[in-house]
Amino acid sequence: MDLLRSLPLGLYLEEPVTWLHQIDARVKMFWLMSFLAAPIWANDLWRCLLVALLVLLTLSACIPLRVWRQQMGWLLLLGALVFLLTMVTPDGLAIEQQPRLPIPETVAALNPPPETLPDLPQPTGYSYILFQQGPLTVSQESFNLAIRVSTLLFTLIYATNLFLLTTAPEEITAALEKLIQPLKYLGLPVTEIALTVTLALRFIPLVLEEVQNLVRSVRTRAINWKKLGLRRAAQIWMMVAERLLENLLLRAEQIAAAMQVRGFTSPNEHQVVWHQLRLRFWDWVAFAGLIGFWWARLFWGGEAI
């Protein structure tokens, strides 16, 4: 098992360099925020279009199949399962209200139940129940809720992963520092925040590597889990988790010691410019596309009230 290849979440794809790599990190960050905010109060068609747009961006960038096949495949499978489960779940509207206290017989005699009205034909082709077969019932409310949950799950996870896949950690921190630069006048440590984000993004592969090494060490010992029982198996995994925490703290301490040896005392005094941010022609084109994106969202993608 190779977690660094089978689960490349939050990792940067260095080769090949696609057109998504060449877009400025600030523009991509605005697009990411738009993908995360656009599903709010949006109709079902717009949510499905967001999923189609993410798939189209991945295919147009010619990202290798080995990179996005597992991620998009598992996300599409997860979204389909969530869609099916939510669709057949009761919508909670078929609830009969009953009085908390029993009705006295005298009141019931004075207020007889109203006469039942005859079933009138439906004037339009609308039907609240879309599908009903045995215990399975699909209503309009459950179908709309299934679309919202499944598309939102795919959009939130895959949009973030596509951003991290095509943007280097140094570009992300440089763009973040530029965007939150006005907060420096409020006394916020902008440079320290950017440095913390850089170290956090660089620490993700180290965490995956430590988990991978510990899982391999457990596998090489050929432990018979059936003979151990639940209690002893839980004790072994607790020891593995404790060892993982110790290794991660040791890695963090080594990074801190390396920074101190190199004379790093403050980000303001030892600021390293990792990436030069410059807006080119295609960055302005992408920014113009973002304006068109929000124009379509406001005029066409709004949820009907």
Instruction: Tell whether 62 is covered by a domain.
Output: yes
- Secondary structure of residue 300 in the 3-state scheme: coil
Residue 66 CA neighbour count, 13 Å, CB half: 6
> Which whole number is the average pLDDT over 238-248?
88
Same domain as 162, residue 140 = yes
Same domain as 302, residue 265 = no
pLDDT of amino acid 290? 94
Domain total in the chain = 2
What's the domain range around 145?
8-92+133-168+279-305
Same domain as 154, residue 261 = no
The per-residue pLDDT of the chain, averaged, comes to: 80
> Which whole number is the average pLDDT over 238-259?
87
pLDDT of amino acid 223? 77
Instruction: Tell whether 115 is covered by a domain.
Output: no
How many C-beta atoms surround the C-beta of residue 43 within 10 A? Answer: 17
pLDDT of amino acid 269? 63
Instruction: Tell whether 81 is covered by a domain.
Output: yes
Same domain as 56, residue 13 = yes
Q: Above 60 in pLDDT, residue 169? A: yes
Instruction: Tell whether 111 is covered by a domain.
Output: no
Same domain as 149, residue 48 = yes
pLDDT of amino acid 180? 86
> Which whole number is the average pLDDT over 275-288?
86
Q: Above 90 in pLDDT, residue 291? A: yes
Work out the angle at residue 123's Cα, subtended by the Cα atoms of residues 121 and 126, and round it to the nearest 5 degrees. 100
Q: Above 60 in pLDDT, residue 227? A: yes
Instruction: Tell whether 180 is covered by a domain.
Output: no
Most confident of the following: 10-24, 39-53, 191-205, 254-268: 39-53
Spatial distance between the Cα atoms of 154 and 226, rounded to a whole number of angstroms? 37
Same domain as 157, residue 301 = yes
pLDDT of amino acid 108? 52
pLDDT of amino acid 41? 87
- Secondary structure of residue 189 in the 3-state scheme: coil
> Which whole number is the average pLDDT over 267-293?
80
Spatial distance between the Cα atoms of 303 and 208, rounded to a whole number of angstroms? 41
pLDDT of amino acid 1? 46
Instruction: Tell whether 178 is covered by a domain.
Output: no
Confidence tier at 100 by pLDDT (50, 70, 90): low
- In the chain, % of residues over pLDDT 90: 19
Instruction: Tell whether 240 is covered by a domain.
Output: yes
Work out the angle at residue 132's Cα, subtended by the Cα atoms of residues 50 and 86, and round it to the nearest 5 degrees. 35
Peptide bond into 16 cis (omega under 30): yes
Confidence tier at 115 by pLDDT (50, 70, 90): low
Same domain as 201, residue 163 = no
Same domain as 151, residue 265 = no
Comparing CA positions, the residue from 214, 174, 217, 241 lying closest to residue 24 is 174
10: left (phi over 0), alpha (psi -120 to 50) or beta: left
Same domain as 138, residue 55 = yes
Same domain as 305, residue 253 = no
Same domain as 215, residue 72 = no
Instruction: Tell whether 211 is covered by a domain.
Output: yes
Same domain as 164, residue 261 = no
